[in-house]
């Protein structure tokens, strides 16, 4: 399995969002002011008479803004600009070296508001172009700085699948936050999944730091999926905020689904619904029963060391093992179940269950399934009374969609 991206430490890329501040005063479009003349850090510039200036009887445009240079602006502000005696034609809110903040201008030119949140500890310049009733154009600007946040106040989202990855039809979307999200409802409202073709799905919170998404049925082979996490500056609760919005797109490849029957000791592999191979296998012996249910390939290893102590079998036990180079290993549970080559048990494959819980097969058969498999391919197990669980790896398919959906915060 390719590791999830780790938290970005080099730069801050998130801030806080709470309420929207009220517009508090006026900024004269004629002043080109960057200073502040009001005690509440709002703009309030005018002519020497304390009223908007005029030329030939036409009033100048007066602007109101909810940001100013006097105090650090809480990052929960959504920047707003309002005009009277004229219209706004353009607003540019930008920090040095960064892309402009996105925003929306009202159709009548009376107001502009940001549709994107701010970064912490950052100085922005607001440049506004206005036009009065006579068509006179004017420009104004002012700057403001946002409140800073430490990395311990920001939660970073690592996303799987990775950008551009091709996965199997059973691959859940996995978002792992490095700090807890307690305001799950607010976050989930800003977490969207778009599929082509369209497919119904839902988020399911496994914990405060882990959330999965799956469609109602396996992904349709050939689907394209985009995950959009618009969480930058969003309050996660308990003084923590989203660090970086994320967009990840991936592709769903062929539907490779294997069906393992622990009683018949056979594995049937289907590609896009067509049976392509039947493989003799062995599964877990008494005391090490293989779990029945839907499993998903999580990781692939051309060779892997397997040591019984990692699954609770102590060294020195009659069941202990330590093999340096198990070939063609593919993990299907967090608890340690794999599909892999087991040349030592070929005589039992197709006849008996002799493993410690893994699905063993000949080296030739293991190489074949390994080479056609990818992360997210499905392995469905039947024939034992030990159930697979939701949280044992990518166990998302072991609940009905109706039950799984109850894990959503919405």
Q: What pLDDT score was predicted for residue 74?
A: 76
Residues in the chain predicted with pLDDT less than 70, given as ranges, are 1-60, 62-64
Q: Where in the chain is the domain with CATH 2.40.440.10?
A: 256-401
Q: What pLDDT score was predicted for residue 286?
A: 95
What fold characterizes domain 26-145?
Immunoglobulin-like (2.60.40)
Distances (CA, A) of 221 to 161, 184, 217, 255, 276: 15, 31, 11, 6, 17
Contact 12, 149 (CB under 8 A): yes
Q: What pLDDT score was predicted for residue 60?
A: 65
Q: What pLDDT score was predicted for residue 77?
A: 79
Is 295 exposed, middle or buried, given 0-12, 13-18 or 19+ CB atoms closer than 10 A?
buried
Question: DSSP per residue over 155-175, as a string?
Answer: EEEEEESPTT-EE-TTPPEEE
> Out of 2.60.40.350, 3.20.20.210, 3.40.50.2300, 2.60.40.3710, which CATH number does the structure's domain 153-252 have?
2.60.40.3710
- The CATH architecture to which 256-401 belongs is Beta Barrel (2.40)
Q: What pLDDT score was predicted for residue 312?
A: 83
Q: Where in the chain is the domain with CATH 2.60.40.3710?
A: 153-252
| Length of the chain measured in residues | 410
Does the bond joining 197 to the residue before it have cis omega, within 30 degrees of 0?
Answer: yes
Beta bridge partners of 88: 130
Per 3-state DSSP, the chain is made up of helix, strand and coil in percentages (nearest 5) of: 10, 40, 50
What residues act catalytically?
Answer: 340, 358
Q: Where in the chain is the domain with CATH 2.60.40.3780?
A: 26-145
Q: What pLDDT score was predicted for residue 59?
A: 59
């Amino acid at each position: 399995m390719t590791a999830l991206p780790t938290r970005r430490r080099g730069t801050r890329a998130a801030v806080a969002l709470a309420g929207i501040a009220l517009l508090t005063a006026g900024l004269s479009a004629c002043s080109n002011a960057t200073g502040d003349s009001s005690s509440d850090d709002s703009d309030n510039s005018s002519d020497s008479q304390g009223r908007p200036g005029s030329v030939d009887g036409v009033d100048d445009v007066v602007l109101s803004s909810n940001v100013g240079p006097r105090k650090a602006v809480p990052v929960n502000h959504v920047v707003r600009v309002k005009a009277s005696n004229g219209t706004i034609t353009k607003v540019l809110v930008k920090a040095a070296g960064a892309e402009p903040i996105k925003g929306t201008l009202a159709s009548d030119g009376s107001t502009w508001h940001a549709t994107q949140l701010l970064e912490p500890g950052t100085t922005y310049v607001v440049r506004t172009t206005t036009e009065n009733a006579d068509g006179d154009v004017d420009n104004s600007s002012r700057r403001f700085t946002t409140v800073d946040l430490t990395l311990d106040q920001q939660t970073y989202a690592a996303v799987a699948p990775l950008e551009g990855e091709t996965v199997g039809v059973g691959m859940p979307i996995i978002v792992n936050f490095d700090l807890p999200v307690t305001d799950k409802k607010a976050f989930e409202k800003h977490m969207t999944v778009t599929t082509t073709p369209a497919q119904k799905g839902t988020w399911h919170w496994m914990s405060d730091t882990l959330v999965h998404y799956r469609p109602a049925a396996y992904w349709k082979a050939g689907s394209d999926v985009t995950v959009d996490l618009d969480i930058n500056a969003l309050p996660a609760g308990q003084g923590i905020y989203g660090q970086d919005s994320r967009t990840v797109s991936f592709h769903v490849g062929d539907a490779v689904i294997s069906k393992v029957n622990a009683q018949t000791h056979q594995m049937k592999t289907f590609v896009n619904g067509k049976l392509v191979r039947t493989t003799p296998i062995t599964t877990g012996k008494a005391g090490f029963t293989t779990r029945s249910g839907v499993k998903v390939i999580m990781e692939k290893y051309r060779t892997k060391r397997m040591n019984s102590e990692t699954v609770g079998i102590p060294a020195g036990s009659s069941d202990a093992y330590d093999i340096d180079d198990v070939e063609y290993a593919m993990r299907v549970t967090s608890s340690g179940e794999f599909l892999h080559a087991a040349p030592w048990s070929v005589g039992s494959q197709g006849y008996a269950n002799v493993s410690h819980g893994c699905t063993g097969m000949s080296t030739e058969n293991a190489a074949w399934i390994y080479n056609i498999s990818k992360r997210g391919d499905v392995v469905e197990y039947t024939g034992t009374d030990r159930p697979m669980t939701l949280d044992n790896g990518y166990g998302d398919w072991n609940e009905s969609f109706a039950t799984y959906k109850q894990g959503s915060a919405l």
